[in-house]
Structure 1
Amino acid sequence: MRKILILNLVIISFLSCNQQAATKTSNNNVIDQKVDSLLQLMTLEEKIGQMNQYNGFWDVTGPVPSAGDAAKKFEHLKKGWVGSMLNVRGVENVRKVQKIAVEESRLGIPLIIGFDVIHGYETQSPIPLAESASWDLEAIKKSAQMAAKEAAAAGINWTFAPMVDISRDARWGRVMEGAGEDPYLGSKIGVARVEGFQGDDLSNPYTIAACAKHFAAYGFAESGKDYNTADVGLSTLYNTILPPFKAAHEAGVKTFMNSFNELNGIPATGDKFLQRDILKGEWNYEGFVVSDWGSIMEMMAHGYAKDKKHAAELAANAGSDMDMESYAYVNELASLVKEGKVSEEHITDAARRILRVKFELGLFEDPYKYCDESREKEIIGSKEMHDAALDMAKKSIVLLKNEDNLLPLKKNGQKIALIGALASDTNSPLGNWRLAAKDNSAVSVVEGMKAYKENELMYAEGTTLYLGETNFPSELVLNTTDKSKFNEAVSIAKKADVVVMVLGEVGYQSGEARSRSKLDLPGLQQELLETIYKVNKNIVLVLNNGRPLAITWADENIPAIVEAWQLGSQAGNAIAQVLYGDYNPSGKLPMTFPRSVGQVPIYYNYKNTGRPGPKKEVFWSHYQDETNKPLYPFGYGLSYTSFEYKNLKASISSGNIEVSVDITNTGTVEGKEVAQLYIRDVIASVTRPVKELKGFEMIALNPSETKTVTFKLTKDELGFYNNQREFVVEPGEFKIFVGGSSDSNLETTIDYK
Structure 2
Amino acid sequence: MTDSSATPSRPWLDATLPVEERVDLLMARMTLAEKVGQTHQVANIDPDADAEAIRAGRLSSSLYASGATGGNERDEGVLVGNIDAAQRHAVEGSRLGIPILFGRDVIHGHRTVAPIPLGLAASFDTDVAEAVGEIAAREAAVDGVAWTFTPMVDISEEPRWGRVAESLGETPVLSGRLAASIVRGFQGDDPSDADRIAACAKHFAGYGLAAGGRDYDTVSVGENTLRNLHLRPFKAAVDAGVHTVMAAFNDVDGTPMHAHEHLIREVLKGEWGFDGVVVADWNGIGQIVFQGVAADDREAAALAIRAGVDLDMVSGAYLAHLEDLVESGEVDLALVDDAVRRVLRLKFRLGLFERPYAARPGAANAPTPETRAVALRAARAAHVLVKNAGVLPLDPHADAGTGTGTGTGKVLLSGPFVDEGEALLGTWTLDGRGEDVVTPASALRERLGDRLDVSDGRFSDRTLQQARRADRTVLLLGEHPSRSGEANSVTDIRLPHGQLDVLRAVAGLGKPVVAVVYTGRPLDLSEVLDLSDAVVVVWHPGVEAGNALASVLFGEVEPHGRLPMTFPLTTGHIPTSTHQRPTGRLIRADVDLDEGRYLDALTYARLPFGFGLSYTTVEYGAPVVSSPTVARDGSVTVTVTVTNTGERPCREVVQLYFRDPVAQVTRPLVELTDWALVDLAPGQARDVTFDVRAEQFAYAGRDLCARVDEGEIVLLTGPDSARLQSTSITVRTDS
Query: Displacement of 1:4 after TM fit?
Result: 5.2
**Cross-structure match for 1:525:** 499
**Cross-structure match for 2:70:** none
**Cross-structure match for 2:67:** none
1:38 aligns with 2:26: yes
| Alpha-carbon separation, structure 2, partners of 1:93 and 1:529 | 50
Instruction: Write out per-residue CA displacement over residues 588-632 of structure 1, whole angstroms, 9 at most, x where no aligned residue.
Output: 100000110001111023112111336999995411111111110
**Cross-structure match for 1:19:** none
Instruction: Write out per-residue CA displacement over residues 172-211 of structure 1, whole angstroms, 9 at most, x where no aligned residue.
Output: 0000001111011111111011011100111110110000
| Alpha-carbon separation, structure 2, partners of 1:595 and 1:409 | 33
Q: Which amino acid aligns with 1:726?
A: C
Q: Which amino acid aligns with 2:611?
A: Y
Aligned residues of 1:116 and 1:161 also touching (Cα < 8 A): yes
| Alpha-carbon separation, structure 1, partners of 2:172 and 2:45 | 38
1:307 aligns with 2:301: no
Query: Displacement of 1:372 after TM fit?
Result: 1.1
Find the partner of 2:604 among 621, 629, 633. 629
1:600-615 correspondence runs (5 A): 600-613=574-587
Change (3 A) 1:167 1:733: same
**Cross-structure match for 1:48:** 36
**Cross-structure match for 1:506:** 480
1:547-566 correspondence runs (5 A): 547-566=521-540
Q: Which amino acid aligns with 1:568?
A: G
1:102-251 correspondence runs (5 A): 102-251=91-240
| Alpha-carbon separation, structure 2, partners of 1:248 and 1:193 | 9
Query: Displacement of 1:709 after TM fit?
Result: 0.6
1:281-296 correspondence runs (5 A): 281-296=270-285
Change (3 A) 1:455 1:713: farther
| Alpha-carbon separation, structure 2, partners of 1:669 and 1:564 | 22
| Alpha-carbon separation, structure 1, partners of 2:232 and 2:370 | 34
Q: Which amino acid aligns with 2:22?
A: K
1:83-482 correspondence runs (5 A): 83-87=60-64, 89-368=78-357, 370-375=358-363, 377=364, 379-413=365-399, 414-453=409-448, 456-463=451-458
| Alpha-carbon separation, structure 2, partners of 1:238 and 1:304 | 25
| Alpha-carbon separation, structure 2, partners of 1:367 and 1:183 | 37
Q: Which aligned segments of 4 or more residues in structure 1 are displaced greater than 4 angstroms?
A: 1-6, 614-621
1:75 aligns with 2:52: yes
Q: State the secondary structure of the residue aligned to 1:34.
A: helix
1:488 aligns with 2:488: no
Aligned residues of 1:407 and 1:560 also touching (Cα < 8 A): no
**Cross-structure match for 1:743:** 722
Q: State the secondary structure of the residue aligned to 2:165.
A: helix
Aligned residues of 1:611 and 1:619 also touching (Cα < 8 A): no
Query: Displacement of 1:577 after TM fit?
Result: 0.9
Q: Which amino acid aligns with 2:609?
A: F
Query: Displacement of 1:13 after TM fit?
Result: 8.0
1:660 aligns with 2:635: no
Q: State the secondary structure of the residue aligned to 1:712.
A: strand
Query: Displacement of 1:323 after TM fit?
Result: 0.5
Aligned residues of 2:4 and 2:13 also touching (Cα < 8 A): no
Query: Displacement of 1:726 after TM fit?
Result: 0.6
Find the partner of 2:674 among 695, 700, 711. 695
Q: State the secondary structure of the residue aligned to 1:693.
A: strand
| Alpha-carbon separation, structure 2, partners of 1:720 and 1:617 | 28
Instruction: Write out per-residue CA displacement over residues 201-228 of structure 1, whole angstroms, 9 at most, x where no aligned residue.
Output: 1111011000000000011101000001
Q: State the secondary structure of the residue aligned to 1:453.
A: helix
Change (3 A) 1:95 1:532: same
| Alpha-carbon separation, structure 2, partners of 1:168 and 1:135 | 18
| Alpha-carbon separation, structure 1, partners of 2:578 and 2:327 | 53
Change (3 A) 1:229 1:529: same
Q: State the secondary structure of the residue aligned to 1:540.
A: strand
| Alpha-carbon separation, structure 2, partners of 1:227 and 1:712 | 40
**Cross-structure match for 1:22:** none
Deviates more, 1:157-166 or 1:439-448: 439-448
Query: Displacement of 1:391 after TM fit?
Result: 1.3
Aligned residues of 2:630 and 2:730 also touching (Cα < 8 A): no
| Alpha-carbon separation, structure 1, partners of 2:80 and 2:304 | 33
Change (3 A) 1:301 1:3: farther
| Alpha-carbon separation, structure 2, partners of 1:3 and 1:331 | 33
Query: Displacement of 1:298 after TM fit?
Result: 0.8
Query: Displacement of 1:559 after TM fit?
Result: 1.2
Aligned residues of 2:392 and 2:615 also touching (Cα < 8 A): no
**Cross-structure match for 1:21:** none
Instruction: Write out per-residue CA displacement over residues 605-663 of structure 1, whole angstroms, 9 at most, x where no aligned residue.
Output: 31121113369999954111111111100000000111111142012466212100111
Q: Which amino acid aligns with 2:373?
A: D
| Alpha-carbon separation, structure 1, partners of 2:435 and 2:360 | 27
Query: Displacement of 1:537 after TM fit?
Result: 3.7
Find the partner of 1:674 among 648, 653, 670. 653
| Alpha-carbon separation, structure 2, partners of 1:565 and 1:9 | 56
Q: Which amino acid aligns with 2:159?
A: A
Query: Displacement of 1:454 after TM fit?
Result: 5.1
Q: Which amino acid aligns with 2:649?
A: E
Q: Which amino acid aligns with 1:444?
A: T
Q: State the secondary structure of the residue aligned to 1:543.
A: strand
1:586 aligns with 2:560: yes
| Alpha-carbon separation, structure 2, partners of 1:602 and 1:193 | 27
Query: Displacement of 1:752 after TM fit?
Result: 2.2
Q: State the secondary structure of the residue aligned to 1:142.
A: helix
Query: Displacement of 1:555 after TM fit?
Result: 1.3
Q: Which amino acid aligns with 1:430?
A: L
| Alpha-carbon separation, structure 1, partners of 2:586 and 2:502 | 39
| Alpha-carbon separation, structure 2, partners of 1:735 and 1:2 | 60
Find the partner of 2:708 among 722, 729, 734. 729
Change (3 A) 1:617 1:559: closer
| Alpha-carbon separation, structure 2, partners of 1:4 and 1:614 | 67
Q: State the secondary structure of the residue aligned to 1:422.
A: coil
Query: Displacement of 1:410 after TM fit?
Result: 4.2
Change (3 A) 1:338 1:614: same
**Cross-structure match for 1:12:** 11
Q: State the secondary structure of the residue aligned to 2:447.
A: coil
| Alpha-carbon separation, structure 2, partners of 1:374 and 1:717 | 49
**Cross-structure match for 2:546:** 572
Instruction: Write out per-residue CA displacement over residues 454-496 of structure 1, whole angstroms, 9 at most, x where no aligned residue.
Output: 5611111223xxxxxxxxxxxxxxxxxxxxx111100110011
| Alpha-carbon separation, structure 2, partners of 1:428 and 1:713 | 42
Query: Displacement of 1:74 after TM fit?
Result: 3.6
Query: Displacement of 1:90 after TM fit?
Result: 4.5
RMSD over aligned Cα atoms: 2.0
